[in-house]
Amino acid sequence: MNTKKILSAICVMVIAFTGYGQTKRMAVTALSENMMRLNPDYESPLETQALMGTIVEIIGEESYWRQVVTPEPYTAWCTNLGLVEMTAEQINEYKAAPKYICTTQHSGVYETPSLKSRRLSDLSMGNLLRIVYTEGKKVKPSVKKKWAEVMLPDGRKGWTPAADIKPFAEWAGKQKLTAENIVNTAMQFEGTPYLWGGASSKGLDCSGLVRLTFMMNGHLLPRNASQQVNHGREIIMECDHSITPDSDKLYQEMLKRTKNLQPGDLVFFGTPETFWSKEKITHVGIYIGNGRIIHASHKVRVNSLIPGQKDYYENSHRLLKARRFINWQGPGMIPIIQSPAYFLW
């Protein structure tokens, strides 16, 4: 993707989500993870997931299905039961409202401050909830012991364990993109089931793992591996694609390919460009050091890129490229605190 296309995509996203001159139909996702499908049918393939609190634009309608554009931007279908449609004014009020972000993999919203009470909604990492304030002279967040009162996107109020959430704006402003933070966040998802189109802590595909990891470190990346590979600082990688998986030269080849990698780098796999076909990126992982990666393949797991290791990744020979986002700035990575999709600017 060239620079002109990238800038055009950003302009489209800003116009769509700032509310400027808005006559568009907008909504907020109301489920912990809203299933976004290719077509308006439950049997249709899952394209991605939108986390609770995400603002989307409605561009189509078929029965109880709505075609929406997510902030990435990503176009897909979901049911109206997972959306709360709002006017432009309500969207701006929603953006301006102080919120909590769920920072644990799984939590919930309960009718009363007790795990034994009725659960109003489940929560997953990255979900957003409006803060409920006390009434009276001293207005402050409503809390009871170890619980915080919250408001779901549909306006229902409930209680969430205070240890599972943090004030969103304050949290977003403090996040630092470091190798240690990226690796530590990604490792929290080890063992999570693989889900094609999964972008939540309940199920992840390879690029969903990368995007959620970076989001929980305060930065937004494109959704797919084929888009992520176009951003960041390119890491020089010498590849001899003539070496086959069963070659006795593969050990030295993989040492050569990984010698410039650092923890936190993204590593991309696929098929190289040939005279007959273009390069195709099919998989992405996060380098964690010592020749090892964490990635979503069958499940979120840790594997070695170096042959002979017990946990050797069977497709290591398909490693093509690497990108480094630490200490890098560019249109393909937006600090969440600066995103018009989440904050009113």
Give me the phi and psi of 117, to 5 degrees please.
-80, 175
How far is the C-alpha of 75 from the C-alpha of 36, rounded, in Å? 8
Q: Nearest Cα to 153, choosing from 211, 93, 104? A: 93
Cα–Cα distance measured from residue 197 to residue 77, given in angstroms and rounded to the nearest whole number: 13
What is the C-alpha separation between 133 and 38, in angstroms, rounded?
39
Contacts of 88 (CB under 8 A, 6+ apart): 19, 22, 23, 24, 26
E strand intervals along 156-247: 157-161, 165-167, 199-200, 203-204, 219-220, 233-234
Q: Which residue has the tokens 């009434």?
A: 135
At 283, which amino acid appears? H
Active site residues: 206, 283, 295
Locate 52 and state its tokens.
């609770």
Pairing mode of beta strands 334-335, 219-220:
antiparallel
DSSP string, 83-124: EEEE-HHHHHHHHHS-EEEE-SSEEEEESSSSTTSPEEEEEE
- Identify the sign of the CA torsion 67, 57, 125, 106: negative
The three-state secondary structure class of 233 is: strand
Q: Are 164 and 173 in contact (CB under 8 A)?
A: no
Which of 7, 15, 50, 14 lies closest to 32, judged by CA? 50
Q: What is the DSSP letter of 44?
A: S
